[in-house]
Structure 1
Amino acid sequence: MLLASALAAVSLSQAAFADGIDISGSIAAENRVFFERGNLPGQLQTYQGSLEFELDVRWTSPDRRWDFVFVPFGRLDGRDGERTHFDAREAYVRWNGDTVSVRTGYAKVFWGVAESLHLVDIINQSDGIEDIDNEDKLGQLMLEVSVQQDWGQITGYVLPSFRKRTFAGVDGRLRLPFPVDDSLTRFDQGQDEGGDIDFALRYSHYFGDWDVGLSFFSGASRDPRFVIDPSLGVFAPFYDDITQVGVDLQYTNEAWLWKFEGIVRDTPFETFVAGVGGLEYSFYGVTEAGADLGIILEIQYDNRSNDPLLGPLSPADNDLVTGFRYSLNDVEDTAVLAGITTDLDDGSLSGFVEASRRIGDNWTTELEGRFFLSVDQQNLIAGFSKDSHIIIRLTRYF
């Protein structure tokens, strides 16, 4: 009788668990076409095709105290072996209290408000083989404790096990002048990625029309500096220990959005400041169909050293970004985002465009482009001068 009762209880709990599971995902065919042959020997020429998939599994307990999330991602690339990769973007369990939540596992955390550059966003490592804009992130193993009160939200992070940045292979486009050899990766104190433990803290709140975020990070930099190994002809990445404090602010006033992100970063070789700030103004109902148009203007600044031996370099040191966001607000969710970055020191120009439109209930088509229009040979992006390309992506959701 007891055994039967136990089996019945287990069956009921399994049924309840299964009933609460939400499973979705997508599979996409991506076609990337370059306008010119590459600058470097061995690079693929003009066409790069790949398949990507993502699964999203979520479960919330009936009392909403527990969440389970599993989001695997993978890409199969026909030309660049390094771009074929798999990652657990998220795989965590979270307990939700009345004012406290605790999350453990692999997760993604985003900080920031600016459109063109996310200086304060430092928890997750960039998945560099996806794109060079640092928007795609690898899952980060973490213990996260968050407290919500009337005076704001404060969240602490313990981040064990470092994730190395991914880079395009010898065959790939949008890559560095020399291949990156992960086996030569070095850290401060001589530890490996498994022995690295980082810490972070963030406070966020709103004050009237102001959204405010303050952050602190101590640990291995997500941006490596590169040392050339002359015997092998490769880059050896070196991840220095850093301390970083950051602030992100957003002020909302009717159709105006004013944004700012700033950091002070202390490294073993220097202390520097960087910032990005600007505005976005929206024109609502610019067509009879109800389309919206947003105008974007941002300035990027960074005063770090130009010596690559002291730390990773940044092309966003004195740049102006202008762009627009156009939303048709139609049934198909048609939207376009585009912009141009101008280097105010040497006049180099680069641009991007992102457009998407839903087809029916389960399909989406996307067009992305990245263009290096006029690049000074001394600019940090000069190595990408022949990597202008477009991407056409067709995605099926389920």
Structure 2
Amino acid sequence: MKNTSSLGWFFTIQRAMVLAVFLIISRTVVGQSEEVYTEFLGNFSFEYRYFMQDGLYPGQKDHFPAISIQPEYYVEWQGGKYILNFTGFGRVDFTDADRNHLDIRELYFQKVSSNWEFSVGLKKIYWGVTEAVHLVDIINQTDNLETFDGEQKLGQLMAHYSYLSNFGTFDLFAMTWFRKRSFPGVNGRLRTPEPIRTNELTFESEMKESRPDLAIRWSHYFGPVDIGLSHFYGTGREPIVSIGNDGSLIGVYPVIHQTGLDLQATTGPILWKFESIIRRSDIQNMKAMDVGIEYTFGNIGGSGIDLGLLAEYLYDDRGDIALNSLQSDVFLGGRLAFNDVQSTEFLFGTILDINRSTRLISLEGNRRFGDSFKASVEMRLFQNVSDEEFIYLFRQDDFLKFELGWYF
């Protein structure tokens, strides 16, 4: 078996080589064109996470200062017919060294025609309409080191063809170079009793990371209704895990078929939302859904503030073994948009377990300062967590996170 650090250096060198090739192509091909638009931007951020209770497990800390950088480089020529796009990311955590990581979020070349697009390289693709969980979003691996809610994703190497017709948009994906999830270390929080090591998670397929994945999606609209229907065949992004008697985690990435459906209907101030998946594998089958509604009160009292109220029902037939612990739950929340020049926004909510006492409370907010700075806040609380749920392992990991970003 390869040493973990050696494997990490291998992928780092591989990413650097890919980036160098793309930059050479950029300078060579773009240099031959008279109509070129380029843009370089990004952000540098300081983050501080504070965990309000002592950790359950030896070695866990409470204070986590960290810094991150996300550079972006964009080039288009011949009126946007050809595009090169790069987004990188790097994180240094001064408490949990296992959270330090580098990633190429996106690095791809794209050819755009009147009714089709083709791109090749590392990309991020997002599917889904619901708020509490994104069931149909299957293309990219979750960046587990960045967020608890799975919103951040790793770049995925792919060839992507998109065709626009009168019958909707058809997207075809061919992918390889599977990305395993990474997890906090001994000092980290939101971890299992024994820290999960990335190389300890195995594959069902003998081809491991190199096994190809295929996906197709059709999306269209009918009046106020937007619809998406997708199918994925390949190595599942979520490992199937079990906890041993000693607290260690045993996990495998299965080969899966996943069919997903997402719907959103707009009727005045009301958004009706629905996501559902059926997943099949030789190891574990599952069905899950998220159905909800969002009602927006616009310009409350002439203040210019919009308030959206959200309610969703979540079901996962895996029950207690589901990593997200959303086997039969209700999400209630709200979204405040101040519609000011500082783009001040807040999202708050709670997930209530219908059958047990478990409650998850969340708050997210952000506000710009001037032209170059943005402040963000996030809070997660785990209350009355049932010992029958996977997140019982995180029951003392309530935290506050503050972030200040400089955008250049």
Specify if TM > 0.5.
Answer: yes
Please, which of 345, 354, 365 is the counterpart of residue 335 of structure 1? 345
Write out per-residue CA displacement over residues 256-284 of structure 1, whole angstroms, 9 at most, x where no aligned residue: 00000000110213432100011000000
Please, which of 13, 32, 42 is the counterpart of residue 25 of structure 1? 42
Partner of 2:179: 163
Shift of residue 83, structure 1, vs aligned partner: 0.8
Partner of 1:117: 133
Please, which of 265, 269, 273 is the counterpart of residue 283 of structure 2? 269
Please, which of 24, 32, 35 is the counterpart of residue 52 of structure 2? 35
Partner of 2:153: 137
Please, which of 334, 356, 369 is the counterpart of residue 324 of structure 1? 334
Shift of residue 182, structure 1, vs aligned partner: 2.2
- Equivalent-residue separation in structure 1 for 2:338 and 2:175 (angstroms): 41
Write out per-residue CA displacement over residues 225-265 of structure 1, whole angstroms, 9 at most, x where no aligned residue: 2356789x743431011101010000000100000000011
Shift of residue 161, structure 1, vs aligned partner: 1.2
User: What amino acid is the match of 1:96?
Assistant: V
Partner of 2:261: 247
User: What amino acid is the match of 1:166?
Assistant: S
The answer to whether the aligner puts 1:346 opposite 2:331 as a matched pair is no
The answer to whether the aligner puts 1:260 opposite 2:283 as a matched pair is no
Partner of 1:7: none
Aligned 8 A contact 1:181 1:234 in 2: no
- Equivalent-residue separation in structure 2 for 1:186 and 1:360 (angstroms): 48
Partner of 1:383: 393
The answer to whether the aligner puts 1:395 opposite 2:380 as a matched pair is no
The answer to whether the aligner puts 1:217 opposite 2:232 as a matched pair is yes
Aligned 8 A contact 2:183 2:197 in 1: no
Please, which of 362, 366, 371 is the counterpart of residue 356 of structure 1? 366
The answer to whether the aligner puts 1:201 opposite 2:216 as a matched pair is yes
Aligned 8 A contact 1:17 1:59 in 2: no
Partner of 2:84: 68
Please, which of 300, 318, 321 is the counterpart of residue 286 of structure 1? 300
Change (3 A) 1:393 1:18: farther
Partner of 1:6: none
TM-score between the two structures when normalised by the length of structure 2:
0.90
Aligned 8 A contact 1:216 1:245 in 2: yes
The answer to whether the aligner puts 1:56 opposite 2:66 as a matched pair is no
Identity of aligned residues (%): 35
Shift of residue 34, structure 1, vs aligned partner: 0.9
Structure of larger gyration radius: 1
Write out per-residue CA displacement over residues 280-337 of structure 1, whole angstroms, 9 at most, x where no aligned residue: 000001133310000000000011264x5xxx54411100000000111111111110
Write out per-residue CA displacement over residues 325-357 of structure 1, whole angstroms, 9 at most, x where no aligned residue: 011111111111000000111121111101111
- Equivalent-residue separation in structure 1 for 2:229 and 2:118 (angstroms): 20
Aligned 8 A contact 1:284 1:293 in 2: yes
Unpaired runs of at least 5, structure 1: 1-9
Moved over 6 A (4+): none
Change (3 A) 1:192 1:272: closer
Change (3 A) 1:177 1:240: same
Unpaired runs of at least 5, structure 2: 1-26
- Equivalent-residue separation in structure 2 for 1:81 and 1:18 (angstroms): 45
Aligned 8 A contact 1:180 1:237 in 2: no
- Equivalent-residue separation in structure 1 for 2:236 and 2:259 (angstroms): 13
- Equivalent-residue separation in structure 2 for 1:355 and 1:228 (angstroms): 35
Aligned 8 A contact 2:30 2:77 in 1: no
Aligned 8 A contact 1:280 1:295 in 2: yes
Aligned 8 A contact 1:57 1:69 in 2: yes
Change (3 A) 1:90 1:356: same
Partner of 2:195: 179
- Equivalent-residue separation in structure 1 for 2:205 and 2:28 (angstroms): 51
- Equivalent-residue separation in structure 2 for 1:156 and 1:243 (angstroms): 15
Partner of 2:31: 14
Q: Secondary structure at the match of 1:143?
A: strand
Aligned 8 A contact 1:181 1:237 in 2: no
Shift of residue 19, structure 1, vs aligned partner: 5.0
Partner of 1:147: 163
Aligned 8 A contact 1:182 1:237 in 2: no
Q: Secondary structure at the match of 1:95?
A: strand
Cα root mean square deviation, aligned: 2.0
Write out per-residue CA displacement over residues 133-187 of structure 1, whole angstroms, 9 at most, x where no aligned residue: 1111000000101110111000010011110011111211111222112223311
- Equivalent-residue separation in structure 1 for 2:384 and 2:200 (angstroms): 34
User: What amino acid is the match of 2:360?
Assistant: S
Partner of 1:373: 383
Partner of 1:93: 109
- Equivalent-residue separation in structure 1 for 2:243 and 2:287 (angstroms): 27
Shift of residue 99, structure 1, vs aligned partner: 1.3
